[in-house]
Amino acid sequence: MEVSVDPAFSVDTRACVHTVEFSPFEWSRGLLAVGLPNSIVVYSIKLKEESDDSNEECEQVWEWHVSSQPVTVAWSPAATLRSAPRCLQELMSHSDCVNSVAYNGENGNLAASTGDDLTLRVWDRSTLAPLIKFLLTSPGMTVTFHPEDGDLLMVGEKSGVVRVYSVGSGCATLSLRSSGPLLSADWSIPNPSLLVAAGAKGITVWNVSSPQPRSENVEIGGGEKVLNLSVCRSTPGLVATLSPPHTIRVSHIHTNKVPVAVHLKVVGGMSWHQHLPYLAVGSDRRVLFWKVDNI
């Protein structure tokens, strides 16, 4: 059963939103990066559960102009409300579009990026010196580090291949395949043994806790193609998906419940709050926030 739910609140922006990203770290969890056509704006978000008067609070804290339209944003563990402007970095060595970037955890010193130039690159977080380059067989669509082991790096290729690399050894430790084209994949923070990938007829969920990972195909919206997904950082089993043309669904992969289903005019990224079940979605000149607690 799908339930259409109005957002809990929204924030207006001065231009169309292309990407959004909550900080995944405890000390900067209230910071939200919003990618506009030629800048990245950071807002300080205080949810009603964190506020003294039980009201949401939102304040733009800074804006940084960029040389091209942002496609993806990742938060450095060094970023705080005061240090965020000094921590913003651009990765410039790819020869084609960069589709995804990531940092390796709270104390990590690595950054990773992948894109249309068929490479996965790992960098020193402080100096941005290149450390290692992996060659891919198709465009890299998404990259993320293991939630608990900063040496393990997952990359999803457009062809449907998902690989996990050990940065220390420079070798692949796991190779999985889903029905392509794969446009997005994510690692579950509440349950790091789960990998989730977007596919042509829904999502594929792997349990990688055993030597022979088991996979499960989960239909979304009756078997719709999934263009993007994001696994909830606070509640196990919740996955937000984007299906054509602009349909956002929040599904529980273990119970098949769909507590949120909404059809928007346009979608510009989505991201979960670090420890509360709030989903931020960019749509035209607004960021919409849904609270998902009716599961």
Please give the pLDDT value at position 3. 60
**Three-class SS of the chain:** CECCCCCCEEEECCCCCCEEEECCCHHHCCEEEEEECCEEEEEEEECHHHCCCCCCEEEEEEEEECCCCCCCCCCCCCCCCCCHHHHCCCCCCCCCCEEEEEECCCCCCEEEEEECCCEEEEEECCCCCEEEEEECCCCEEEEEECCCCCCEEEEEECCCEEEEEECCCCEEEEEEECCCCCCCEEECCCCCCEEEEEECCEEEEEECCCCCCEEEEECCCCCCCCCEEEECCCCCCEEEEEECCCEEEEEECCCCCECEEEECCCCCCEEECCCCCEEEEEECCEEEEEECCCC
What is the reported pLDDT for 232?
A: 97
CA distances from 99 to 34, 116, 151, 249, 253 (A): 16, 7, 21, 22, 26
Contact 261, 248 (CB under 8 A): yes
What pLDDT, on a 0 to 100 scale, did the predictor assign at position 111?
92
pTM of the model: 0.93
In order along the chain (295 residues), what is the average pLDDT of each group of 10 residues?
81 97 93 96 95 88 90 87 60 79 85 94 88 95 94 96 95 91 94 94 92 89 91 96 96 91 96 97 98 85
pLDDT score recorded for residue 4? 77
The reported pLDDT for the residue numbered 52 is: 79
Structure tokens at 83: 């240090």
